[in-house]
Structure 1
Amino acid sequence: MPERVVSINLCTDQLAMMLADEGQLISVSMLARDARLSPMADRARAFPANHGQAEELFLMRPGLVLAGRYGAQASVNMLRRLGIEVVQIAPARSFDDIRANLRSVGAALGREDVAEVLIARFDADLAALAREGEAGARAVVYAPNGFTSGQGTLVNDMLAAAGLRNAATEGGHSGGGRLPLERLVTLEPDLVIRAARFGGASRAEEMLDHPALAKAMADQPVRPRSGGRYICGTPLVLSAVAELAAAARALEAR
């Protein structure tokens, strides 16, 4: 079982906090403390934060570093050259990936038994929530700059589990990418799950307040927001699925 584990990625932060033994995890990334991004922000504040820089990480004398598959590659390469073990975890694009990543981080931490407990609980909670197979309302998740998630994404699985059809997928979108506002309007979704704004003067966020989007959402009985629970593949996505399922029922009851 490795000691002095450091995580430098928002998603491995959350997996590590769920799986690590007492005292095993010594630092998480600074993003883990941001409640707009991390549903475990309060818990993350109990750990020293890092910025993912190789120099600061080396001084922590880690026995293991957990990182994302695609981020901070320069730091990952430097740490490996210095003889520090680094385990990289790919972003989850499905519920199956959540299970796989729990097992991967559990194995890296020597906590395989804890990982299996979390997976069993995840499966039981998902089974209790799932409304798959129902011909539900059409929904789309819409974020700054028109970013959406189509076929082959974790969001697609989340919508399906809530009994909703992904309008972006039905419109031919695969993976994550930009959905022009004009295209969203023509898709005529029953439910737009709009991202929460961070504030400030971002042009990317301004489109979330566009009159055409407001008109498309005018008849929605509920207005769920996407956020940190949608970003990382952990069992915490099920709280978002529960909210989406409630939104689906509200649409059906109109």
Structure 2
Amino acid sequence: MAFRTFLSSMGINAPAVDTVPGRDAVRPGEELPFEVVVRGGGADVKVDRLAVELLIRVEDSESTETGWTNPHVLASSDTGSFALAAKEDRVFESSLVIPWEMPLTHALGNRLKGARCALRTTMEIDNAVDRGDFDEIAVHARPVQDAMFQAFADLGFRFDEAEVKQYYRNFQQTQTLPYCQELEFWFPSSYHRQDQLEMSVITADAESVEVIPGAAGSFLFAADELDVQRWTSWLDEFCRERWAR
């Protein structure tokens, strides 16, 4: 996967940038390596800033499922300023750490409706800033998160949409990012509900999982105890205690 952006305000002989991630799919907690190739244009220039940013789409009143409105930066890598001669090629290698709480775009190998993540390269020369295009990357669920999705499916829930909202739901003091991903599932008929269960799952590290089902409180688990069977048992018991009577 690669993307190229041109400083169009400087003309057709402007410097160009190719950013190539080392992989097109990651999981929370992993590193995403990448290579940035900067190609000089028709004249010597000083690049004031060259940055690669990890973006997420956060819901607001103007966002749509297919567009990006005011994307939020979760991590960035910045080369600082450097001189770029005409026709010179410069190569930079770096990586970004994917936060443990990174919103997912895929679970059980499938794309989650409403969830999006991307890399964006920003170049600044003489106060001209070009953010250009950006390419989306896939953030797959960790095993403990995939197990949760499988439990929902096994119980007959139907996934609807994922949304990232800018707020804290830090009941157990595990949340570190000011964003929370809500996963919306339609209830099966066995729970006598015709609406959705909104589930937030906060995994701020490799060991713990905080589960926030709607407005019904918060539950903290050790990640290694949540396999499909444990998820299924807990979720079914939780729902039946509240609704299947």
TM-score by length of 2: 0.27
Q: Going by fraction, where is helix more abundant, 1 or 2?
A: 1
In our comparison, the structure showing a higher alpha carbon Rg is 2
